Amino acid sequence: MPDDATDDLEVLLGAELARNEEAAEATIATISSTQQFRPPSKKRGRDVESIKESDTGNKSAGVQRISRPASARDCPPHPGFVQGMCIRCGKPRDDLEPAASANVALRYLHAGLELSKTEADRLRDESLKRVLAGNRLILVLDLDHTLLTSTKNSEIHDEQLHRKLSKMLAEQQRLPELDRSLYWFPHMDIWTKFRPGVRDFLERMHLCYELHIYTHGTRPYALEMSRVLDPQRRLFAERIVSACDSADKNHKNLDILLGVETAVLVVDNTHTVWPQHLANLLHCTSFVYFPADVPRMGGTALLATCDTSHEQPDPMLPAAAAVLEDVHSMYFAGASAAGMDARQCLAAARSKILAGVSLVFSRVFPQVMASPEANSLWKLANQMGAACSLATSAATTHVVAPCYGTDKVMWAQKHGKHVITPAWLTASSRSWQRAAEEDYVPEKPK
């Protein structure tokens, strides 16, 4: 790769893009190596141009760079734009250029950066080669209720809980930074609590995945959370996508990431924001800690129940880490990772959750259903590896029923089989491990 090509792109995109140790520098390298991008030249007729950077915050201050204007034959098509200027020929976007909606916005890498779909696809292929060469996949992580939870100070109305938080914060501030899990951000007026085990989870995942943050929170909030999760900036670098980086405020989409979908997995507590990428999603339980979390997420606010000196364990992140490590092992198990699909590996891992379980449904859906296998619970059980039936047999291990009193439930009781509510299936799916049957027994009639 010619050094001057990389330098030119750094000048054009600025020091912010150049500072990204992994994602943005990889983007620079792959774009520059084949496209020979040049910054816009004020004097098109010159063969060379001396560029002197200002000394305000630019790492290349005072360094004289030599560049050549691109040939007019190189564009169109334009590979992409920064603030409306082509990143190859330096010309402004013209009326014949496709609308911005046809381009891929990468604002999280640099303000105003857009790439054509062709160029974005090319870079995704380069990104795939890069991560696979490092024996890694790509992991996209949600923030709120997945890795941590935050609440406005004004949402904590109980004075006793305020005092409890203040006491916990004072204890936490005496700990080393990497041992802390509770933070108060006065400039944002929010409290933040890490999910138990989040630091161990991130360290484990960093060994086999390139980590990205993708949140619907604001960019200042995302950057602050990244700073405390990753104080040494080893894990995420600049790979942080926030609400302002996405055109759709209600959904998330992998298209704005420079990653091939077959090598990308997602961990998020909200499946509805990923309608186009459910196969990539490891759907996790919601982390609920503050009282304000309960109306939105359900469950119990751990702040009200936990001891200030003892953190209640949460099995979700260790379980997710085990699944993701399993997926990574499956992906790289062969002599070559070429042609592998992380989504298929995730589906295979999901099918282990209820392997060996044989379910019979009782009063969960109408017996006269033409296609019971089309029922969402039936499909969910199949995805987790369970066999499903409408009739009991010697192979039956569980009867799924909302209440006692049915013939199948009485048969299960007589033969020592498990009787569980449909919620057992959802709990097993969300926790990525077989839920305890005794926690999902139907209520006995009064």
Query: What are the pLDDT digits (tens) for 20-76?
Result: 334 444 444 444 444 444 434 333 333 222 222 333 333 333 333 323 344 445 777
DSSP symbol at 240: E
Q: Which residue type is seen at 164?
A: K
Domain 358-440, CATH 1.10.357.10 — does that match? Answer: no
* Domain map (residue ranges) of the chain: 3-133, 137-328, 358-440
Tell me which residue of 317, 323, 364, 315 sits closest to 342, measured CA to CA.
Answer: 323
For 107, counting Cβ atoms within 10 Å of its Cβ (0-12 exposed, 13-18 middle, 19+ buried), the class is: middle
Euclidean distance between CA atoms 85 and 163, whole angstroms: 54
* Mean per-residue pLDDT of the chain: 82
CATH class of the structural domain 137-328: alpha beta
Q: For a pLDDT cut of 70, what percent of the chain falls above it? A: 78
Higher per-residue pLDDT: 26 or 379: 379
Work out the average pLDDT over 138-151. 97
Are the C-beta atoms of residues 440 and 403 closer than 8 Å to each other?
A: no
Count CA atoms closer than 13 A to 177's CA, side-chain side.
6
Same fold? 137-328, 358-440: yes
390 token code pair:
């409408």
pLDDT tier, 327 (very low <50, low <70, confident <90, very high otherwise): very high
Which H/E stretch holds residue 119? helix 117-133
